[in-house]
C-alpha cells in the first residue's frame, strides 16, 4: 500500500491558490508565499491545488508540501515529513507521516534549512513515485 497522498485534481497552476494568497489583508499568507513559490519552482512536474482550504504542492498528483496561515503563526508542511533529514531541527509534529515548520513573526527563519526540507520533500516524493512504477 502506497504512503503517497494522491490529489488527482492538482493542476500546473491553480487560480484558487493565487486567490488564497490574495484574500484579504493577511500578512501571514504573504509571509508563507515565498515558501510556496519555492515548492512551485522545484520542477516542471509540480502541480498544485487548494486542499482542505490551503495551498498544496504535488509531484504530479502526489502531495509533498503545503502552506497554511493561522491567527498567530503559519506552517510550511510536508506530507512525508517524518522521513525527511532535518539537521536544523525545524520540523514539528508527532503524526505517523506529516511534519511542519512553524513560522512566527519576530522569529528568524533558517531559510537555507527550510529550502533544503522543501527540496528533500520534492525529491523523496519523486523517488516514491518511481518505486510505484
Model confidence pLDDT, tens digit, residues 115-125: 999 999 999 99
Mean pLDDT of 7-22: 97
**Is pLDDT above 60 for 1?**
no
| Total Cβ atoms within 10 A of residue 46 | 20
pTM listed for this prediction: 0.95
Q: Which pLDDT score, from 0 to 100, does residue 2 have? A: 62
- Give 24's pLDDT tier (boundaries 50, 70, 90): confident
Helix axis angle, 27-40 relative to 15-22, nearest 10°? 150
- Contacts by 45-53 with C-beta closer than 8 Å and gap 24+? 45/126, 46/122, 47/10, 47/11, 47/12, 48/10, 48/11, 48/12, 48/13, 48/14, 48/17, 49/7, 49/9, 49/10, 49/11, 49/14, 49/16, 49/17, 50/14, 50/16, 50/17, 50/20, 51/7, 53/20
CATH architecture of 15-128: Alpha-Beta Complex (3.90)
Q: Which pLDDT score, from 0 to 100, does residue 34 have? A: 97
Model confidence pLDDT, tens digit, residues 34-84: 999 999 999 999 999 999 999 999 999 999 999 999 989 999 999 999 999
Amino acid at each position: 500500500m502506497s504512503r503517497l497522498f494522491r490529489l488527482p485534481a492538482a493542476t500546473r497552476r491553480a487560480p484558487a491558490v493565487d486567490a488564497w494568497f490574495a484574500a484579504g489583508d493577511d500578512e501571514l499568507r504573504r509571509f508563507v508565499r515565498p515558501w510556496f513559490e519555492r515548492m512551485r519552482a522545484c520542477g516542471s512536474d509540480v502541480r498544485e491545488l487548494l486542499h482542505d482550504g490551503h495551498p498544496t504542492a504535488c509531484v504530479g498528483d502526489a502531495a509533498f508540501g503545503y502552506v497554511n496561515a493561522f491567527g498567530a503563526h503559519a506552517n510550511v508542511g510536508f506530507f512525508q515529513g517524518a522521513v525527511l533529514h532535518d539537521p536544523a531541527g525545524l520540523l514539528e509534529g508527532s503524526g505517523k507521516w506529516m511534519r511542519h515548520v512553524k513560522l512566527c513573526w519576530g522569529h528568524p527563519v533558517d531559510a537555507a534549512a527550510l529550502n533544503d526540507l522543501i527540496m528533500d520533500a520534492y525529491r523523496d516524493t519523486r523517488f516514491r513515485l518511481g518505486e510505484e512504477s
